[in-house]
């Protein structure tokens, strides 16, 4: 029934390509990308938990992978993505209260989100290596 | 739910939108976002404390009541949150109705499968066998 109707040529809302890239816009896109990354990354978490539940052999394979350069890079990326998405989420929760929409505030929040995630990730890894001590 | 005999069918769906769930999705997204914050911080601290430890030590720590309960809450909160988030992305980008429904169903199945696997592992670590 509806198939025969020719769609009207209504004006579309402007798409991403029409805007000049801005920090707040990039942060919005990154928030979505980090969310998708965490969606995929949860497989790593499940692997780790199942391996721990399976026994020493399975767990040693996880430990071996996490010890490789690729494993370390994946883990480093994972922690940054997780922290960035969490801080981005807190930014959204602040906006939900009706605050932080001003030109100065939203720019400040975006910068704090980015700087905070990088800083916290580095601190976490420094602490992580300190905890491990000479284990590796 | 309340007084179903007084409210008309129209009254019950009014304001609930085409999905008949109103702002439920949005609200649950925010609810789990709030619960995610302390649980993610707790998870990261647990993870760091387990770095470089032997399998036996990891099993003992993950199987201790407080850590296990926090980890179970963490898994429940993040898997529900990621399901809601991915559904939003699917609804934004998948315009074909059939594919959209298929993707939303697959997303739900994936989230439940992931949550089940993690919960199974955590319970096994706590109760052994």
CA distance B36 to chain A (A): 8
Site of tokens 């420094």: A126
Q: What's the CATH number where A78 sits?
A: 1.20.1300.10
- CA of B7 to nearest chain A CA: how many angstroms apart? 31
Evaluate whether residue A15 is within a structural domain. Answer: no
Look at residue A11 and tell me if it is in a domain. Answer: no
CB contact under 8 A, B117 and A49: yes
Query: If residue A39 lies in a helix (H) or strand (E), which one and from where to where?
Result: helix A23-54
Residue of A nearest to B26 (CA): A96
Domains of chain B: 24-127 (1.20.1300)
Please check whether residue B82 is in contact with residue A10, taking contact to mean a CB–CB distance below 8 angstroms.
Answer: no
User: Under a CB-based contact definition with an 8 Å cutoff, are residues B122 and B75 in contact?
Assistant: yes
Q: Say whether pLDDT at B8 is over 50.
A: yes
Is any Cβ of chain B less than 8 angstroms from the Cβ of A98?
Answer: no
For residue A86, what is the nearest residue in chain B, using CA coordinates?
Answer: B37
User: A58 lies in which domain range?
Assistant: 24-132
The pLDDT, as a whole number, for residue B3 is 53
Q: How many other C-beta atoms can be found within 10 angstroms of the C-beta atom of residue B79?
A: 23
Residue A96 in any domain: the answer is yes
**A88 within domain boundaries:** yes
Q: Does B30 touch chain A (CB under 8 A)?
A: yes
What phi-psi label fits residue B15: left (phi over 0), alpha (psi between -120 and 50 degrees) or beta? left
* Domain membership flag for residue A119: yes
Residues whose CB is less than 8 angstroms from the CB of residue A49 and which lie 6 or more positions away in sequence, other chains included: B62, B117, B118, B121, B122, B125
How many domains are there within chain A?
A: 1
pLDDT tens digits for A19-75? 888 899 999 999 999 999 999 999 999 999 999 999 999 999 999 999 999 999 999
At B111-127, the pLDDT tens digits run 999 999 999 999 999 99
Angle at B92 between CA B90 and CA B94, to 5 degrees: 55
Across B46-69, average pLDDT: 94
Closest CB to A93 among B33, B48, B52:
B33
Which pLDDT does position A61 carry in this prediction? Answer: 95
Asked if the structure places residue A7 within a domain, the reply is: no
Q: ipTM, 2 decimals? A: 0.86
Say whether pLDDT at A8 is over 50: yes
pLDDT tops 70 at residue B129: no
Q: Is B105 a residue whose pLDDT tops 80?
A: yes
Where does the pLDDT of residue A136 fall: very low under 50, low under 70, confident under 90, or very high at 90 and above? very low
Residue A114 belongs to a domain: yes
């Amino acid at each position: 029934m509806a198939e025969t109707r020719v769609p009207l040529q209504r004006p579309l809302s402007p798409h991403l390509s029409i805007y000049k890239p801005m920090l707040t816009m990039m942060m919005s896109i990154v928030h979505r990308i980090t969310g998708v990354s965490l969606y995929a990354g949860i497989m790593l978490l499940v692997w780790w938990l199942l391996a721990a539940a399976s026994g020493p052999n399975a767990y040693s394979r996880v430990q071996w992978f996490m010890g490789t350069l690729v494993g370390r890079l994946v883990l480093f990326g994972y922690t940054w993505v997780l922290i960035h998405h969490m801080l981005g989420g807190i930014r959204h929760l602040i906006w939900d209260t009706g605050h932080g929409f001003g030109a100065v505030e939203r720019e400040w929040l975006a910068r704090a989100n980015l700087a905070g995630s990088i800083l916290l990730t580095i601190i976490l890894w420094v602490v992580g290596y300190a905890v491990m001590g000479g284990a590796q | 739910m309340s007084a179903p005999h007084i409210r008309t069918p129209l009254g019950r769906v009014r304001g609930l939108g085409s999905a008949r769930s109103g702002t439920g999705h949005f609200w649950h997204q925010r609810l789990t976002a709030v619960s995610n914050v302390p649980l993610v911080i707790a998870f990261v601290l647990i993870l760091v404390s387990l770095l470089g430890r032997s399998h036996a030590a990891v099993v003992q720590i993950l199987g201790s009541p407080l850590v296990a309960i926090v980890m179970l809450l963490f898994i429940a909160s993040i898997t529900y949150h990621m399901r809601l988030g991915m559904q939003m992305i699917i609804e934004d980008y998948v315009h074909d109705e059939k594919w959209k429904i298929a993707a939303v169903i697959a997303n739900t199945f994936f989230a439940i499968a992931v949550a089940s696997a993690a919960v199974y592992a955590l319970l096994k670590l706590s109760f052994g066998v």
